[in-house]
Every structure is written in C-alpha cells, then in structure tokens.
Chains A and B, each alone.
Chain A
Amino acid sequence: MASSVDSLFVKAQNTTLPKSLRPTSPPPDNVPKHKHVKDLKLRTKLNRQAAHAARSKALVEDAELLLTNEAGKMQVETELERTWRIGQDDIVQSASQEAAKGRRELKLDGGPYRSRYSRNGRHLAIVGNMGHVATFDWQTGTMHAELQLQETCRDITFLQDQSFFAVAQKKYVFIYDRDGVELHRLKAHIEPTRLEFLPYHWLLASVGNNGFLKYQDTSTGHIVAEHRTKLGACHTLAQNKHNAVLHLGHSNGVVTLWTPNIPHPAVQILAHYGPVVGLSVDPSSGGRYMATSGQDGVVKVWDCRNWKGTVREWTTRGGGAELEWSARGALSVAVGGSVNVYTKPSIQTPHAPKAPPPLYLTHPIPHRPLTSVRFCPFQDILTIGHNAGLSSILVPGVGEPNFDSMEADPFENKKARREREVKGLLDKIQPDMITLDPDFVGALAPPTKLTTAVNDTHDIPFARLPRLERLRVQGKADETELVDDDDEDIADGDADKNAKPQSRMEKEKRKMRGKGKSVKRYLRKQRKNVIDPTAVAIRAKLEKQREEKRVAKAIENGSMEARKPSALDRFRRP
C-alpha cells in the first residue's frame, strides 16, 4: 500500500502543468486590441495572438543576454595614432595564442590562388590556376583532399558543407567528395569561370565564358534554370545571402541581378566605365549595400534598396580591385600591392565627395596579382589569394562573435553535421520562391479585383460571389490591413487639391483596360522626360500654398513669430 502511494508521488513529480494553466507574465502593453472585430471568438483569438507575439518579441530582446562572446576591436587612444599604422606583428603580439594561429602564410606554386571558406568557417578550400586544389580544416590542420588536376581551374566552392566541393575547371564543373574522389562531371556548365552555392535552396550556380548563368539543384541533380545573359563572358559573381539573388559583373561595366525565375535580369545597372572586376554584397545590413569595382580603378558602394546613385565612390591607385564584405560590415579592397579594410559606419553613410573612406587597416603583399579576398566567418581573419599562394591576416573586429548552432557551428561534431544536412534538405526552399524581396512569404495577397463591377454593384448573384466580395456587400469586410497600390501612383503625379476622393471602383474603371504594364511603363517614361510649363507652374503654386499653410500653423503654435509689418513690405515679391 505504501509503496504504491510512493510510486504515485514519484510519478507526480514528472508531470507538467498544461500550458493553459501555467502562470503567464502580465500582458504586455502596446498590444493592438482589435475593437473593430464584432465576432467575440475571433476577437479573443486575435488578441491572444497579438499578446503572444508581443511577449515573444520581448523575449527575443532579452535573448541578447545569450550573446556571451564579444567582437574584436582595435581602438586608438591618442589623437595622433591611427589604426592603419598598426602592422600585423603588433596585432599578433597582442592576440592570444589561439587567435594568433590565424596569421599564416601558405607559400605555394601553382598559379594565382583563389580560396573559399565553408559556411561555418572551419574548412578552407583553395584552388590555383594551374590546377592545384586542396581542402583542409585550417584550425586543426587536417587535410581533407589535395588534387593536382593539371588543367586550368578558375574557382572552387564548398557545397552544403565540407563533404562536397565543386571546382570550375577548364571545360566543365566537377564535384568532388570530401576526400577528393571525383563524383560528378556537370557537363551542362560549359567553360565556367565562377561558382556560387545557394545553401538554403541547394542550388549550384555558375557563369562562364559563353555568357550563360546556370542553376543546378545539387540534391536532385536537375538544371533549374539556364539564362542567357547576352552580355558576353562573365568573370565576376557574387551572392546576396539574404535573398539568394546573384549579382553578375560584365565586361561592359554593367552589373545585373538574376533570379532563377526571370529570363532577363531583375535589375541592370551601368556601374563602371570598363569591365566590372570586383563585386560583393553586405551581409550585415541584410543585403542593403553592394560594393563594385571596375578596371577603371573606381570602387563604388551602392544602396540596393533604391539604386539612386552611389552611396560612396572613390578611385584607387591600380586596376581592378577584389572586394569582399565581412559579416560585421567591414569592406576589404585588394588592389595593387596591398589590401585595405574599411569599417562601418563610414563605409555605409552617403558621402558626396569622391574621397576614399577613412582607412581602418592596411597590409602590403608583395606578390601580385591579388586574386581573391575572403573573410573567415566567425573569425577576425582575412585570407588573401595571390600569385605565390595565400596569406591570412588578422583584422580585429570583422568577425561575428556569436554564431547560432542551428545555422553554422564551427564546433559541430559528426552527428550534428548529419542532422543539419538532413534538416537542411527537408527545409529546402523551392527556387521559384527567390525574389528580390524575401519578405513576401506569409504576407497578405493583394485583393483580387472583380472587374465586372460597375458602380460598386455586381451582376453576379450574392451566392456566387467570392468570400471577400460577399463580406464587402454585407458591410463586414475588415480592410484595416489592406494597402491600396493605386495611392502610390497618385503620389507621383500632380495632386490636384480640388479632385474629389475617388472610390476604389471608380479608379478601377478609369484604369485603362487592355493596356499592359509594359505599355504603362513606356508611357510614363515619355511623360517624365517632357517638361510641361503648365505642370511646372502648378507645382510652384502648390508649393507656395503649402509653405503659407506651414507658416500659418507655425505661427499658431507659437514656434514662429508673425512677421511685423514694415515699410518695405510693398517691395517684397508676392
């Protein structure tokens, strides 16, 4: 009897309270209340969802306590000192033994070298132009594979992790195992020059001397897309890690942005007066800034959100520069015989004069040409590939100190690698989800337009209307989250003060039917180039009226004093 009671007690210790009975923290403030929803059950559900979202947000802010590691830094104390005066020897001396291991020189012969780190920064793949390929774990010094391919090799990339790598060889792309066993010859990729792997979509992309951009799914083996760039051979390729868009730099100075879904570039920019040599996208701002360099010696930083000219541009002494952006927003420029590193915020703030930004660190390398720069993820290390091998230098403050084990973990063991690979395959995103704006997933679809509506009434009987139209007819449609696309068009043109607010249906009617988006774009382009004197006059008049209103309001508020009448008022222009 007693033992059964005891066993019951033991069992009771292992039970957990259901979630609904657990104490919840006090409801957060600034939670939207949804008072406009009449249905009680729906309103309760929406309120509960909003409270949960607010609580999760607060927890995410608190989770910054989890970030235990601190980034490196290099701070000068006196006014006369400069950070770029500090050489690698000083940095190595003040770094710990582990960190100092990052400063190394690899003296190899085999042509100019290119390198690539795996996503977790633990493994390094190097390829020399003559065909020397090697992959190794640089922290422990374990060599995975070393091959002498005896043909031109132009680029190398790891696939999902160190277990596979792809080499862009003279004619085709080849995929090798971790130990260097050749697995596949991708005969679709002809004369490849650059390779990129999109890790969340499992796509291997290559550009080549024939001007084709090809995407191949490495999990199924299918070619997903083959795009003719029609701009000739391409030697520069960069990936935007936040939306999986590929940036190509062409020999006529044009930078194009590609997704596998559109046969023509999504964006095309004339960036330089000569071929584009270096290209990189900033991961620390979510892919907002792009740096390009041309053979004309100019380095430009662009804002990818609005493409309105460069944020910053300057001329370097020397030809084309190799560029790479680090995870914390530092830009490395390898040009001539040295590597320069510039940091945030100066590199990202708009600056009109064509002066180079303040230098953070510089390092000379005697072996020219400098063919590649790569930052090691999660370390303060920059690896430069040059004619005589590779050099790794220490750059304090460029590495992301806190990594997420679920995404990329330099310390993962065999089991974790396997689990991550399987989970990555299960979560593989289809290539048709790649767009310039990655946030469209889960957003509300734009409201469908019922084009047969005339003056807000329909021919269709109520029972056959789509649900949203039926709710609208009943007056129960909740349109608080809808954004009207037409408002943006009107803001561009001349806002006539006297125009009465048009209903949505009227706007639909007035829209030209049968004219597609391309015609609209063409007509708008024609309109924008024409300077209409009446339009200019109306704009000036509106501007003056707005200014008068603003002054009157300011005088009412008391922030501005009313102009005292003076004798010279009659000479003032009206």
Chain B
Amino acid sequence: MVKISVLQHAPSVHLPARPGDPTPTTRNLDPLMHPFARARERNRALNAAKMDKLFAKPFVGALEGHIDAVEVLCKKPGSLSAVASGSWDGGVILHNVSERKHIRRIQGAHKGKVSGLCFAQDDRLLSCGVDSKIKLWDASPQDDITEQRPLNEYPGKSAFNSIDHHRSDPLFATASNIVQIWDETKSAAISNLTFPTSTETITSVRFNLSETSVLGSIGSDRTFTLYDIRTGKAERRIVMQMSSNALAWSPTFPTNVLLASEDHNLYTFDVRQLKTPTHIYKGHVAAVMSCDWSPTGLEFVSGGWDRTVRIWKEGQGTRPEVYHTKRMQRVSSSIFTADARFVLTGSDDGNVRIWKAKASEKLGIITARERAAIEYRDTLKDKWKHDNEVGRIQRNRHLPKPVYQAAKLKRTMLDTRAVKEERRRKHTRAGESKPNAERKKVVITEQT
C-alpha cells in the first residue's frame, strides 16, 4: 500500500475570519525564501539616510522683540516654555516659547548691555549688567507685560559679566573682576571667592547642578577656576592655551564640565583630573561663544563666532549637526530646552531662533506604527553607517561657502604644520623629539 498526501493550504488559516479583520500573515524565516536579503536591507538603509536629509527642516521659528544683539539666554528651571533673553540695549524679554509670545518685556532694564540672566525661586528673574547693578524682577505671567519696576536692586562696585543662582538656597553668584556670593535678602555681597593671585576679569560663573556648593568660573587670563562655598575660597585653577568663552556643567555627570574655547574647540574636563581634557570637540572655524548641555547629558549645543550652531554627541568629537541661516549672524548664546527637543539661539541680529534638536524629527503626534518605522530606519542607518554610500549621505553637511572655505583653509594649514613637524622629527636623532598628544597641549598649568 502507499501513503499519499497532497499539499493543501487551508483557506481558514490564510483568509480573514470576518470581513474587516486583518489578513493573517505567515512567516517563513528560511534564508532561501528571502533572496537578496542583505542587498534589500542596504537599499532600505540608503533610502532611510536619504529620507533623513529630505525631511531635515530644523528651523522652527524666531522670537523677535529685541532692538540690538541678544547677549544672553536663560531657561526657567521646571518650565518647558519660559525663556528669558537679554540684549545689548539693556532690554530683557521673558518669552513663552510654545506660544511665541512675550510674558514680560522690560525695556531699559539696565543702562548698557545685559550681561547675565538667571532665574531665582518663585517666578523671579535676576539680571546683571555692565552698569554694575543687579536687579530682581517678577517673572510671573501678568496682564500688563511692560511692567518696568524691579522687585529689588543690588548695587555693585564694577561691571558684572555673569550671574548664576544656587540650586535651592537663596544665594546667587556674580562675576566681575571678582567672584562674589550674594544673599537675596542682603544688599551687599556676603563673600568673595576669588583666587588669591588672580588679577583677571571673570567672564562667566556657574553653579554645579548636582554638587550645589561647587562653582566653576572662567576668566580672561585663560583660566578655569573651581570654588566651594563651604570652604569659602577657590580650590583649584588651570591655565589653558587660549581663553574660554562659556562654561556648562553636565546635568547627568556631575564632575564633567564643558568649556567653549577661543581656539575653535570645545573641551570637556573631569574636575577630579584637570591636567588633560577628557574630550576635544573640533568643528567650529571661529571662536566658540556659547555652549549648553542637553538635559539627557548625551548631547550639547554650541554657538560660534562663525555664524553656525552645532549639535554634538557626547564622546564624538567630529562631524556634529550644523545649523546656519543667512540671516543669523554671530551666535552669542545657545541653550537646549528642558525636553531636549529644541535648541534656542540668540545672535547678533537681535533674534532668538528656535531650532529642532533632531532636524528630521516630526513634531506632531506620532502613531505607534510610525514610531516603529522610525526606530527601524534609525537602526538600519546605524547598522549600515560603515557602507560607503550610506555613510557619506549621513556624514555630509551643507555649509555656507565662507564657513566651508575657512574650514578648508584651516585643514590645509594644520596638515602642513603636522607634516612639517614630522619631517623635522625624521631628521633629528631618534628619540629626541616625540610627538605630543593633542590632549596634553591644552592645559599649561594647574594651580591650587
């Protein structure tokens, strides 16, 4: 006898049970059923990289209102939409970023430039200016947005450059030619923390976000100094090759600090070991004027004198995301919003611009299916980034012609210097001249 069975497919398994039901899918993961699997996946990765660039529209909007250049931006802790900006004409504006309206508009807050802004507790704003005055304003939303009178005024001895508020206590720190700690209830500074032998101007001072008694400051003498309120003095100071323009403590790694330097680079230092920076971020072609960490601690934004805004990944020192516009001149301040989705930049043309942190991100409601597709495309791009074509599409950035030419010239000059040094080394006695690590060239000395 013979056993015969002929293949058949049960329609009940493959057709929907009721009209309107989704059709059941069957999978067979045998590689013979899926020819050209890798070539097709590579095609999808290529399309994903191209789509990323197709949908990259980072500019969201501009907040106007200032007459002169915007000098400083500050975001309100605990709020997603309140951002204060101070400009060269002495005006301070408190913006509602999501509605793009002004909550408060204070014209003539200071005579001269507003050099520093920070938020105190309970909806109050502190501003300092080059007219040696610190003023405390009410920042709560009110009907009359052009209220001009400050809640309190603290006179100082010299022009202030920067101000920062303590995380929880009613203290704030200011930077002029000295670093001072003020109490909100007292009209004079309560302590002077300056490094004993320093005769420089301090350009920026910041409280650490986790270890709230620790302060960091940068000065015109190419220094970075650490202070502690509990000891009441400066702890340590390093002197670098070139001065820094901005300082930002990492929100997730308390010992990391980011410095935006005049030599076109950004440096992260671990304050436990200040001899060498942990990372060097090279990309700007002119001085870096401002920097700020994302709340996730994985990214940061920097704005430069070369009219570009760059968004970097922590640990990756080259090829950041670059934003530029013809209308945006020198970028003097840049901050991340508290949800890490947007970047705000203030520039010399008097506008505060809102940019997306991820240029091709969709801002509306994303369905679960869409999110799954986006995640799949991100994984594909990551997997195939070493492929020539896919990698090139992801890495290339469009730069304005002057920036591109400047970068090219800088590259040529640095290359020739490196080659010359190597040729010199080739013709000296073996062992007498050794190449120096890039990291060791940054810090000249460390002082306590």
B43 proximity list for chain A (CB < 8 A): 426-429
Task: Check if A63 is an interface residue, CB within 8 A of chain B.
Answer: yes
Considering the chains assembled together, what is the distance between the CA atoms of A242 and B418 in angstroms? 51
Asked if A99 contacts B4 (CB within 8 A), the reply is no
Task: Check if A463 is an interface residue, CB within 8 A of chain B.
Answer: yes
Task: Check if B7 is an interface residue, CB within 8 A of chain A.
Answer: yes
Considering the chains assembled together, what is the distance between the CA atoms of A382 and B131 in angstroms? 95
Q: Contacts A78-B1, A404-B33 given: A461-B419 contact, CB under 8 Å?
A: yes
A71 proximity list for chain B (CB < 8 A): 7
Considering the chains assembled together, what is the distance between the CA atoms of A518 and B6 in angstroms? 54
Asked if B27 contacts A286 (CB within 8 A), the reply is no
Q: Contacts A81-B1, A200-B35 given: A404-B9 contact, CB under 8 Å?
A: no
Asked if A74 contacts B2 (CB within 8 A), the reply is yes
Task: Check if B197 is an interface residue, CB within 8 A of chain A.
Answer: no
Q: Contacts A66-B27, A464-B415 given: A283-B32 contact, CB under 8 Å?
A: yes
Per-residue CB proximity of A411-438 to B under 8 Å, as 1/0?
Answer: 1110010000000001111000100001
Task: Check if B34 is an interface residue, CB within 8 A of chain A.
Answer: yes
Asked if A438 contacts B35 (CB within 8 A), the reply is yes
Task: Check if B25 is an interface residue, CB within 8 A of chain A.
Answer: yes
Asked if B9 contacts A378 (CB within 8 A), the reply is yes
B33 proximity list for chain A (CB < 8 A): 400, 403-404, 407
Per-residue CB proximity of A34-66 to B under 8 Å, as 1/0?
Answer: 000000010000000000000000001001001
Asked if A242 contacts B35 (CB within 8 A), the reply is yes
Task: Choose the segment among B10-18, B174-182, B255-263, B281-289 that binds chain A (4+ C-beta atoms closer than 8 Å).
Answer: B10-18
Asked if A429 contacts B39 (CB within 8 A), the reply is yes
Query: What residue of chain A has the Cβ atom nearest to residue B42's Cβ?
Result: A441
B132 proximity list for chain A (CB < 8 A): none
Task: Check if B107 is an interface residue, CB within 8 A of chain A.
Answer: no
B25 proximity list for chain A (CB < 8 A): 405-406, 409
Task: Check if A94 is an interface residue, CB within 8 A of chain B.
Answer: yes
Considering the chains assembled together, what is the distance between the CA atoms of A541 and B36 in angstroms? 48
Q: Contacts A411-B14, A442-B387 given: A429-B1 contact, CB under 8 Å?
A: no
B419 proximity list for chain A (CB < 8 A): 461, 463-464
Per-residue CB proximity of B189-233 to A under 8 Å, as 1/0?
Answer: 000000000000000000000000000000000000000000000
**Minimum distance in angstroms from B4 CB to a CB of chain A:** 4
B14 proximity list for chain A (CB < 8 A): 409-411
Which B residues between 1 and 52 are near A, CB-CB below 8 angstroms? 1-9, 11, 13-15, 23, 25-29, 32-36, 38-40, 42-44, 47
Task: Check if A83 is an interface residue, CB within 8 A of chain B.
Answer: yes
Task: Check if B422 is an interface residue, CB within 8 A of chain A.
Answer: yes
Which B residues between 414 and 431 are near A, CB-CB below 8 angstroms? 415, 418-419, 422-423
Considering the chains assembled together, what is the distance between the CA atoms of A286 and B418 in angstroms? 53
Chain B interface category by residue count? 35 or more
Asked if B7 contacts A99 (CB within 8 A), the reply is yes
Query: What residue of chain B has the Cβ atom nearest to residue A71's Cβ?
Result: B7
B27 proximity list for chain A (CB < 8 A): 63, 66, 404-406
B26 in complex: contacting residue of A76, A399, A402, CB < 8 Å: A402
Considering the chains assembled together, what is the distance between the CA atoms of A567 and B306 in angstroms? 98
Asked if A426 contacts B13 (CB within 8 A), the reply is no
Asked if A284 contacts B32 (CB within 8 A), the reply is yes
**Minimum distance in angstroms from A201 CB to a CB of chain B:** 8
Considering the chains assembled together, what is the distance between the CA atoms of A99 and B4 in angstroms? 12
Q: Contacts A396-B4, A403-B26, A463-B418 given: A439-B38 contact, CB under 8 Å?
A: yes
B38 proximity list for chain A (CB < 8 A): 438-439, 441-442
B423 proximity list for chain A (CB < 8 A): 461
**Minimum distance in angstroms from B321 CB to a CB of chain A:** 21
Most chain A beta-carbon neighbours within 10 Å: one of B7, B27, B29, B418: B7
B2 in complex: contacting residue of A75, A241, A441, CB < 8 Å: A75
Asked if B40 contacts A81 (CB within 8 A), the reply is no
Task: Check if A90 is an interface residue, CB within 8 A of chain B.
Answer: yes
Considering the chains assembled together, what is the distance between the CA atoms of A41 and B315 in angstroms? 11
Considering the chains assembled together, what is the distance between the CA atoms of A464 and B415 in angstroms? 8
Per-residue CB proximity of A540-561 to B under 8 Å, as 1/0?
Answer: 0000000000000000000000
**Minimum distance in angstroms from B52 CB to a CB of chain A:** 15
Task: Check if A7 is an interface residue, CB within 8 A of chain B.
Answer: no
Task: Check if A401 is an interface residue, CB within 8 A of chain B.
Answer: yes
Considering the chains assembled together, what is the distance between the CA atoms of A380 and B6 in angstroms? 6
Task: Check if A130 is an interface residue, CB within 8 A of chain B.
Answer: no
B5 proximity list for chain A (CB < 8 A): 70, 72-74, 94-95, 396
Query: What residue of chain A has the Cβ atom nearest to residue B418's Cβ?
Result: A463
Asked if B11 contacts A411 (CB within 8 A), the reply is yes
**Minimum distance in angstroms from B43 CB to a CB of chain A:** 5
**Minimum distance in angstroms from A99 CB to a CB of chain B:** 4
Asked if B3 contacts A462 (CB within 8 A), the reply is no
Query: What residue of chain A has the Cβ atom nearest to residue B26's Cβ?
Result: A405
**Minimum distance in angstroms from A50 CB to a CB of chain B:** 14
A442 in complex: contacting residue of B8, B9, B42, CB < 8 Å: B42
B418 proximity list for chain A (CB < 8 A): 461, 463
Query: What residue of chain A has the Cβ atom nearest to residue B34's Cβ?
Result: A407
Query: What residue of chain B has the Cβ atom nearest to residue A96's Cβ?
Result: B8
Asked if B6 contacts A95 (CB within 8 A), the reply is yes
Query: What residue of chain B has the Cβ atom nearest to residue A93's Cβ?
Result: B4
Which A residues between 195 and 232 are near B, CB-CB below 8 angstroms? 200
B4 in complex: contacting residue of A91, A378, A442, A461, CB < 8 Å: A91
24 pairs, A vs B, C-beta closer than 8 Å: A66-B26, A67-B28, A68-B26, A71-B7, A72-B7, A74-B5, A77-B1, A86-B2, A95-B5, A99-B8, A242-B32, A380-B6, A396-B5, A400-B33, A403-B26, A409-B26, A411-B11, A412-B23, A416-B23, A427-B44, A438-B36, A438-B39, A461-B418, A463-B418
Given contacts A96-B6, A426-B43, A428-B43, 20 further A-B contacts (CB under 8 A): A63-B29, A70-B5, A74-B5, A86-B2, A90-B4, A98-B8, A200-B36, A244-B36, A380-B6, A405-B26, A407-B33, A409-B25, A410-B14, A411-B9, A427-B44, A429-B36, A429-B40, A441-B42, A462-B422, A463-B418
